[in-house]
């Protein structure tokens, strides 16, 4: 039941790992109400109650393949799907003026351009990771990189479950961009995304990545600054996807009434006020 002041939320990819987590979190959080849930055409769960699909009580919201109706019914839509689907969803958000929270990773440059164009018509919050603590980690990594020069080698290590399809993770790349920003360089110019065989000495100023996959790990990330005689390690470990869901709802509440634009979790958390 929608209360008068509830924020009406739609969830895409409603039966996936993040979709069901989002639905559970919405149902447990005062001030939010699930009003629509969508999946791809032909999905076996179409027509089922979204709350029951998520393992909870019925919410009187059927899983549908009508994403246009989802955007029309919602104040904010939460999207943790696949890049090609997210691009389509951004167009729907722009068409209806619905705020969109994007947690999808692996988005290519041309798809990012489509999100930027959609952001000219509605408020979009995009982040490689919605966890509040992970975004704080990114902020700290940027600050550390600004203070520690190239005498400190930077390595970013991440581990995820065996089913994750993109590597390095979107969060690892986000951490890399934060470090690069702190050092005043472009990540693409200094990234080392894999080493095998006789690679030679490590390049000064490089930002290295290592990706591990196995088991049911939700997400572990470390940024390592290593110099002669000392090492600084900034680490975050997530044991539940609820951390992403809580952050997504924080972003959804923040996006209410915001002018069109492509925002980040740094905007949501107002990191600019800390500097």
Instruction: Single out the residue of 184, 170, 187 nearest to residue 135, CA to CA.
Output: 170
Query: Would you state the torsion angle of the CA atoms of residues 265, 268, 269, 275, taken in this order, to the nearest 10 degrees?
Result: 90
For the residues of 187-226, what is the DSSP string, one character each?
HHHHEE----SS--SPPTT-EEEEEEE-TT--EEEEEEEE
Q: What is the DSSP letter of 122?
A: S
Residue 89 designated active-site: no
Q: Which residue of the set 8, 121, 164, 181 is catalytic?
A: 164
Q: Which residue of the set 89, 96, 139, 160 is catalytic?
A: 160
Residue 258 designated active-site: no
Instruction: Single out the residue of 51, 54, 62, 119 nearest to residue 89, CA to CA.
Output: 119
**Rounded to 5, what percent of the chain is helix, strand, coil?**
35, 25, 40
Question: Are 127 and 263 within 8 A, CB to CB?
Answer: no
Which residues are catalytically annotated? 160, 164
């Amino acid at each position: 039941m929608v209360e008068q002041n509830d924020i009406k939320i739609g969830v895409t990819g409603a039966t996936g790992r993040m979709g069901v987590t989002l639905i559970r979190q919405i149902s447990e959080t005062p001030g939010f109400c699930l009003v629509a849930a969508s999946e791809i055409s032909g999905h076996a769960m179409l027509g089922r109650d979204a709350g029951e699909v998520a393992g909870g009580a019925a919410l009187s919201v059927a899983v549908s393949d009508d994403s246009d109706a989802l955007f029309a019914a919602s104040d904010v839509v939460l999207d943790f799907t696949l890049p090609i689907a997210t691009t389509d969803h951004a167009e729907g958000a722009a068409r209806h003026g619905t705020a969109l929270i994007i947690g999808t990773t692996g988005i290519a440059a041309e798809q990012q351009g489509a999100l930027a164009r959609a952001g000219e018509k509605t408020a979009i919050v995009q982040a490689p990771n919605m966890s509040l603590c992970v975004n704080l980690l990114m902020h700290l990594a940027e600050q550390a990189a600004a203070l520690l020069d190239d005498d400190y080698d930077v390595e970013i290590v991440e581990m995820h479950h065996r089913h994750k399809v993109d590597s390095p993770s979107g969060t690892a790349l986000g951490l890399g961009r934060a470090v690069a920003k702190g050092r005043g360089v472009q990540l693409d110019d200094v990234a080392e995304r894999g080493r095998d065989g006789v690679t030679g000495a490590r390049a000064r100023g490089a930002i290295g990545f290592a990706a591990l996959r196995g088991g049911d790990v939700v997400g572990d990330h470390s940024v390592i600054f290593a110099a002669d005689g000392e090492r600084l390690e900034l680490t975050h470990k997530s044991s539940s996807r609820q951390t992403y869901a809580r952050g997504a709802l924080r972003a959804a509440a923040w996006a209410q009434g915001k002018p069109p634009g492509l925002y980040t979790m740094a905007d949501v958390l107002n990191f600019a006020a800390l500097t």
